[in-house]
């Protein structure tokens, strides 16, 4: 697959309409008229778009989505390892961000993590876990921008401007060059308890994205969870309803607002994410990024506990980072 080396997430020129829109106060953009105009513009943009695949990514890109993943994993029953798969992982920033989040409090709990991308080039960089200034240029986004100084120190060993992911985060990830739409993927990944598919389905034409998303859903272990962002909302809503996925309410709005790279680009780029609109009849499914997949009907206890669309909050003490060597 051909990739654009430079994703247009940052530093691209704006046209006059977009400049004007960005100058409007939030209160005006958020009126009924403002949203209708935005939706109309976004439909045109998507219809005309030449949907190239980009590599854009960042560390800790969507913190609420990472927090939800942490809670989902924390609530899995004891016993066997928790299996997690990250699809379309680009140069690995998302995978290491997830591991940093999960391993912080699950020290002692075994995780099996599979990460895949269709591009061999990015998997090579991800596996090495070494990121110099050229890595941001390569993916077209400032990969370290969301990190505080403390987080930079926790996640990386630094050699000047180059950060190498700490060994406690690199260990144990199984990296694959693979297509998320491949129906035989289950033979390589098994059935993960949590599957994450972020920011690549929107680059596919709607029918291809639908087929790929159905395939991704079929990977998830019965009663497991799928977190899928960066996808046309009509595609995600349609497939979720067709396959009976249960929307997870917890952190729904925070996740929707959690990725500045895509929220800021609506309605001017096809990957832009519309504001959450509770007036829509389908809003519960439309704005859910997380779903419980293949779970028994509500009220019937499944393998991972009672089927419910509302995850209980986990009581959290001070964050423990018990893993040595950081
Ligand atoms: C925009 S990046 C998103 C990276 C990361 N998931 C994130 O959210 O920051 C999209 C990535 O998906 C990969 N990709 C595109 N189509 C894919 C497919 N069918 N299977 C696996 N990876 C794919 C691309 O190679 C690219 O690295």
pLDDT digits (tens, 9 = 90+) for 254-287: 999 999 888 888 998 888 999 999 999 999 999 9
Say which residue the tokens 């509302």 belong to.
Answer: 310
Please give the average per-residue pLDDT across 284-301, as a whole number: 81
- Give the integer Cα–Cα distance in Å for 165 and 13: 33
What pLDDT score does 296 carry? 64
The whole-model pTM stands at 0.86
Mutation pick for ligand 1 pocket among 60, 84, 117, 271 (CB with most ligand atoms within 8 Å): 117
Tell how far the Cα of 148 is from the centroid of ligand 1, in angstroms: 25
Residue 26, in any domain of the structure: no
Is residue 53 included in any domain, yes or no? Answer: no
Ligand 1 pocket residue status of 229, Cβ below 6 Å = no
283 exposure class (CB count in 10 Å sphere: 0-12, 13-18, 19+) = middle
Q: Does residue 137 lie in a domain region? A: yes
Dist. CA 152–CA 141, nearest whole Å: 17
pLDDT of residue 86: 98
The answer, yes or no, to whether any atom of ligand 1 lies below 6 A from the CB of 87, is yes
pLDDT score, position 12: 57
Per-residue confidence (pLDDT) for residue 298, from 0 to 100: 56
Rounded percentage of the chain residues whose pLDDT exceeds 70: 85
What are the residues facing 83 on neighbouring strands? Answer: 112
* Distance in Å, CA 318 to ligand 1 centroid: 34
Structural domain includes residue 58: no
| In-domain check, residue 13 | no
H helical segments located in the chain: 16-23, 26-29, 32-48, 63-74, 93-105, 120-128, 133-139, 149-155, 167-170, 186-189, 206-219, 233-242, 252-256, 260-263, 283-286
pLDDT at 17 (0 to 100): 82
pLDDT for 80: 86
Q: CATH number for the domain including 101?
A: 3.40.50.150
Percentage of the chain modeled with pLDDT above 90? 67
- Structure-model confidence comparison of residues 52 and 98, the more confident one: 98
> What pLDDT is recorded for position 9?
43
Residue 312 lies in a domain: no
What local confidence, expressed as pLDDT, does residue 251 receive?
A: 98
Number of domains in the chain: 1
For ligand 1, whether the C-beta of 57 sits within 6 Å is yes
For range 104-118, the mean pLDDT: 83
Section 311-326 average pLDDT: 34
Per-residue pLDDT, averaged over 310-315, amounts to 38
In a domain, 221, yes or no: yes
- CA atoms in the 13 A half-sphere facing the CB of 53: 16
Question: Which band of pLDDT confidence, cut at 50, 70 and 90, is reported for residue 77?
Answer: confident
CB 72 within 8 A of CB 305: no
- Give 144-177 pLDDT, tens digit per residue: 999 999 999 999 999 999 999 999 999 989 999 9
156 membership: H or E segment, kind and range: strand 156-159
User: Is 129 among the domain residues?
Assistant: yes
**Domain around 227:** 63-306
Model pLDDT for residues 21-53, shown as the tens digit of each residue: 888 988 888 888 999 999 999 999 888 888 888
Greater pLDDT, 296 or 255: 255
Which residue is associated with the tokens 């809503």?
237
**Mean pLDDT of all residues in the chain?**
86
Looking up tokens 């991972």, which residue turns up? 304
Pick the residue whose CA is nearest to atom 2 on ligand 1.
55
Task: Of 254, 117, 131, give the one whose Cα is nearest residue 199.
Answer: 117
Does 108 or 207 have the greater pLDDT score? 207
Distance (Å, rounded) from C-alpha 169 to C-alpha 95? 9
The per-residue pLDDT for 76 is 87
Distance 88 CA to ligand 1 centre (A): 3
Span from the CA of 55 to the centroid of ligand 1 (angstroms)? 6
Res. 120: pLDDT tops 70: yes
Tens-place pLDDT, residues 169-222: 999 899 999 999 999 999 999 999 999 999 999 989 899 999 999 999 999 999
DSSP three-state, residue 240:
helix
Residue 305 has pLDDT above 80, yes or no: no
Q: What's the CA-to-centroid distance between 198 and ligand 1, angstroms?
A: 7
Of 59-63, 76-80, 88-92, the poorest mean pLDDT is in: 76-80
């Amino acid at each position: 697959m051909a990739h654009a080396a430079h994703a247009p997430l940052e530093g691209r020129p704006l046209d006059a309409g977009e400049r004007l829109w960005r100058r409007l106060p939030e209160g005006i953009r958020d009126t009924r008229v403002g949203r209708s105009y935005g939706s109309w513009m976004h439909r045109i943009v998507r219809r005309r778009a030449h949907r190239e695949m980009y590599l854009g990514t960042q560390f800790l890109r969507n913190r609420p989505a990472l927090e939800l993943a942490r809670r989902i994993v924390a609530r899995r029953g004891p016993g066997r390892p928790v299996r997690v798969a990250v699809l379309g992982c680009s140069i690995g920033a998302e995978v290491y961000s997830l591991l940093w989040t999960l391993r912080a409090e699950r020290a002692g709990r075994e995780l099996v993590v599979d990460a895949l991308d269709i591009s061999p080039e990015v998997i090579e960089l991800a596996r090495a876990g070494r990121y110099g200034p050229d890595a941001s240029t390569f993916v077209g986004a400032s990969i370290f921008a969301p990190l505080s100084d403390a987080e930079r120190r926790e996640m990386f060993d630094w050699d000047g401007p180059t950060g190498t992911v700490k060994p406690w985060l690199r260990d144990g990830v199984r990296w694959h060059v693979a297509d998320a739409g491949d129906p035989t993927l289950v033979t390589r990944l098994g059935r993960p308890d949590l599957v994450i598919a972020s920011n690549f389905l929107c680059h596919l034409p709607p029918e291809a994205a639908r087929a790929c998303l159905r395939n991704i859903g079929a990977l998830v272990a019965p009663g497991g969870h799928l977190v899928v962002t960066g996808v046309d909302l009509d595609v995600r809503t349609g497939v979720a309803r067709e396959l009976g996925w249960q929307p997870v309410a917890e952190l729904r709005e925070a996740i929707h607002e959690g990725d500045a790279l895509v929220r800021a680009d609506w309605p001017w780029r096809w990957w832009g994410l519309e504001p959450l609109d509770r007036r829509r009849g389908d809003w519960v499914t439309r704005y859910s990024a997380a779903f419980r997949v293949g779970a028994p009907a509500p009220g019937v206890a499944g393998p991972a506990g009672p089927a419910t669309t509302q995850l209980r909050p986990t009581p959290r003490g001070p964050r423990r980072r018990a893993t040595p060597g950081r």
